[in-house]
Amino acid sequence: MAVARPDTPRLDRLELTRRVVGAASDALIVAGIGNAGFDLATAGDRPENFYMLGSMGLGVPIGHGLALAQPERPVIVLEGEGSVLMNLGALATVGRESPENLTIVIWDNEQWQLTGGQRLATASSCDLATVARGCGIQSVMTPDDETTFESDVRRALDSPGPHVLVVKIDATAGVGRPHSDPIWHKYRFMQALGIVPD
């Protein structure tokens, strides 16, 4: 049960993001809008990272499309719970299509942190791990310490998915920022994949 009790440990997103980058090897990482991307830029900017600067709610679909186009590469999506809630139907699409190389990490601090900490349904009534299972995603993990998180990420990267990790985190603000130019991100990422764009 991922709905937080008062004693649920709250992990630090930046430290966990560092562990994702450390485990990533050649995996492609898609970061959703806001703190997910801020901490990825701080933890380990690399050409194989793609950052969303807008389009809240589309981190999972972007990662899904990328996973279908690059079936030999692991794809990791780092996305906030608010963004996942905005497009819950995307988890149903992932469940049905079942891309084996897709891992979705959901950072859940139960609030819209960037806009002032408004409480979300995951603070009380909504368990995203149960939602993911209900969408047909078989491998759903809820690590509650840093060591377990890292081993879960490594296991996800080494085994057929899709995988979803729902992680209760604290409300530390991300300090880094990705580059502000979308087209720069597009070309850098595609170049890292060896793809010549149109």
Query: Using CB under 8 A as the criterion, which residues of the chain lie in contact with other proteins when the complex forms?
Result: 30, 50, 52-70, 87, 89-90, 92-93, 96-97, 182-183, 185-186, 189-190, 193, 195, 197-198
Smallest separation (angstroms) from other proteins to the CB of 115: 16
As a whole number of angstroms, the distance between CA 21 and CA 112 comes to: 24
11 vs 128, beta carbon nearer other proteins: 128
Beta bridge partners of 102: 75
Question: Which one, of 142, 184, 196, 197, lies nearest residue 47 by Cα?
Answer: 184
What's the closest the beta carbon of residue 170 comes to other proteins, in angstroms? 28
In the complex, minimum distance from the CB of residue 169 to other proteins, in angstroms, rounded to a whole number: 23
Please say which residue, 121 or 190, places its beta carbon nearer to other proteins.
Answer: 190
Identity of the residue, 31 or 169, whose beta carbon is nearer to other proteins in the bound complex: 31
Strand ranges (E), the chain = 28-31, 49-51, 75-80, 102-108, 111-112, 118-119, 139-141, 163-168
Map tokens 């084996």 to a residue. 100
Q: Select 65 or 176, whichever has its Cβ closest to other proteins.
A: 65
CB of 38 to other proteins, least distance (A): 17
Q: What are phi and psi of 41, to 5 degrees?
A: -60, -35
Q: Give yes or no for a contact between 65 and 125, defined as CB atoms under 8 angstroms apart.
A: no
Question: Of the two residues 59 and 143, which places its CB atom closer to other proteins in the complex?
Answer: 59
User: Closest Cα partner for 77 from 144, 28, 16, 15?
Assistant: 28
Q: How far is the CB of 51 from other proteins (least distance, A)?
A: 10
